[in-house]
Structure 1
């Protein structure tokens, strides 16, 4: 009995420490609770929007949110929120409010609930840290995405509520277009959000959106509006270019390039080239040549391209050279680990050991900067 009692006494400090240590991201019952805590602590709000079963979401929990520097950053400057869109009312409301349809999605808001920035997809330690630092800077300059009201309750159209209801992802374009045209002045946010999910917006609405892209971007952010702009232009491209006509495609791009910020246009042009060469023309080699001449790193297109060519056994020396040029002109120390290692593999397959080692070393240097375990990368240098 005495031994058991002594064991319990020895265990108490450990249990107390575990009870005191809280997860950096917490679940909240309501939006008002989140805002109250943010105002009380005078911190920004960081939200991780996920769903149970999402693999990249689980990897974020295991590898990124456990990182010492990320934890310190979040604990010092943010109220960390984690919400499941399928299981929590708060998550469902945030999905509807901000159209968080890529997972995980990360949102940063002011303590008053004004959206500052949003992004989606897996983010390694360096990428997430850059996102947090940029949001912090935007907040200091009072730069918010003011198209979104700070509350979650918005007078949405019935069609919009149906779309995010039990029968998700279905919408009557005719009904949606009519509601937008009739109500956009009175219910600006509600009308614009309905427009974002409408598959075939009225021609006048599409023209207005493209001509005023910068305004919409300032209201709702790049993460939401860039995809919509690309979808509209891809539809226009399909109508104008029905077969192989590179000169007509080039002219099409020239028609629109001045309507977008340079950084956004590089991505939109890249995505339109993907649509033209891979969908309309069905010439993957031409797209790879375009990407090498106009290098852009967007999502994981670069890694997906290497994997696709490898799986189809189409990875020729010529394609490897183009992949090398594409990556070399776009990859730097700010690039995600996965993409850095992708170009390392490209050079490994080209039998260029010095280039291969230089990119592995770049990954090691980045890992050390963010206190990430380097063992796996260091092993690549000895293999």
Structure 2
């Protein structure tokens, strides 16, 4: 699910929220600060759309979801909206760095103080999207916020991570990652976004799975559920070596609660599909012995 955001347009919608996410004005650090000030003045939440040109789910959101009257009503009434392209706009890159964003579109739902209510990724049909917005409103009223700090400062991150997002230098040697992470707690924000944002594996897979539920509560579903799924896909290969389907099912069932029933049906299908089947050189499939 690694993707990188849509066209040159990131805009704070001041006078015309009914055409939210359509305006084409360059987004900057200054415009982001103005959005936060507007949210304070109007007592609204902030909705951020991170996207890129050529992203099909992003384009589908623009065409089918954002123009829907139910969506424009809730966005205009309760949110200040902000759109950014991380390929072209530094603030978009900083937001992706801050939250370890790798899949697009990604939606950030934040209060005017910068506290994260929720993060969601991928195409969302109208009903699902309006439910996301309503749940964010309800969560903010209850004071249910994630563990992320409220500031964005590149100085808070090791250089390799900052360069990965701000300069696109994502090929970081594992020894560099390990050298930083082995003295840190994965439960802390910066190590967490490094692991999920750079897809760090090896011994960190088991550590992540062990702490998945806590991380889910602290940082939200989007990054955690996606990373867990990626780990389980790798684990599948280990269990296929011994053709131990029963043990693999037992393992993956531990993480069922991280997903909706619909998501789990889809993900479990991917995880169990062709278990124990290897592709032979003649392009036919055979079961592992």
User: In structure 1, what is the equivalent of residue 283 of structure 2?
Assistant: none
Aligned equivalents of 1:282, 1:272: Cα separation in 2? 19
User: In structure 2, what is the equivalent of residue 103 of structure 1?
Assistant: 104
Aligned equivalents of 1:44, 1:222: Cα separation in 2? 20
Distance 1:63 1:261, change over 3 A: closer
Aligned equivalents of 2:192, 2:208: Cα separation in 1? 10
1:317-354 per-position Cα deviation (integer Å, ceiling 9, x unaligned): xxxxxxxxxxxxxxxxxxxxxxxxxxxxxxxxxxxxxx
1:132-171 per-position Cα deviation (integer Å, ceiling 9, x unaligned): 111111112211111x111121511222123224344312
Distance 1:166 1:108, change over 3 A: same
User: In structure 2, what is the equivalent of residue 214 of structure 1?
Assistant: 213
Partner secondary structure for residue 46 of structure 1: strand
Structure 1 residue 276, shift from structure 2 partner: 4.3
Contact map agreement 1:159 1:172 (CA 8 A) in 2 = no
Structure 1 residue 268, shift from structure 2 partner: 5.8
Structure 1 residue 20, shift from structure 2 partner: 6.4
Partner secondary structure for residue 47 of structure 1: strand
2:23 equivalent to 1:24 = no
1:57-102 per-position Cα deviation (integer Å, ceiling 9, x unaligned): 2332233222222111111100011111112221111121123322
1:40-62 per-position Cα deviation (integer Å, ceiling 9, x unaligned): 11111011111133333233223
User: In structure 2, what is the equivalent of residue 188 of structure 1?
Assistant: 188
Distance 1:200 1:82, change over 3 A: closer
Computed over aligned residues only, the root mean square deviation of the Cα atoms, in angstroms, reads 2.9
User: In structure 2, what is the equivalent of residue 288 of structure 1?
Assistant: none
Unaligned runs of 5+ in 1: 1-18, 284-383
Partner secondary structure for residue 183 of structure 2: helix
Higher helix proportion: 1
Aligned equivalents of 1:270, 1:20: Cα separation in 2? 41
Q: Which has the higher contact order (CA 8 A, sep 6+)?
A: 2
Distance 1:198 1:105, change over 3 A: closer
User: In structure 2, what is the equivalent of residue 233 of structure 1?
Assistant: 232
Distance 1:194 1:53, change over 3 A: same
Partner secondary structure for residue 120 of structure 2: strand
Structure of larger gyration radius: 1
Partner secondary structure for residue 38 of structure 1: helix
2:278 equivalent to 1:261 = no
Structure 1 residue 273, shift from structure 2 partner: 4.7
Structure 1 residue 232, shift from structure 2 partner: 2.0
Matches within 5 A, 1:283-362: none
Contact map agreement 2:50 2:84 (CA 8 A) in 1 = yes
User: In structure 2, what is the equivalent of residue 201 of structure 1?
Assistant: 201
Aligned equivalents of 1:201, 1:178: Cα separation in 2? 14
Distance 1:167 1:69, change over 3 A: closer
User: In structure 2, what is the equivalent of residue 345 of structure 1?
Assistant: none
Partner secondary structure for residue 223 of structure 2: helix
Aligned equivalents of 1:169, 1:52: Cα separation in 2? 20
2:170 equivalent to 1:174 = no
User: In structure 2, what is the equivalent of residue 87 of structure 1?
Assistant: 88
User: In structure 2, what is the equivalent of residue 56 of structure 1?
Assistant: 57
Aligned equivalents of 2:94, 2:255: Cα separation in 1? 33
Contact map agreement 1:213 1:260 (CA 8 A) in 2 = no
User: How many residues are aligned here?
Assistant: 259
Structure 1 residue 207, shift from structure 2 partner: 2.6
Higher strand proportion: 2
Give the stretch that moved more between structures: 251-260 or 217-226. Answer: 251-260
Partner secondary structure for residue 102 of structure 1: coil
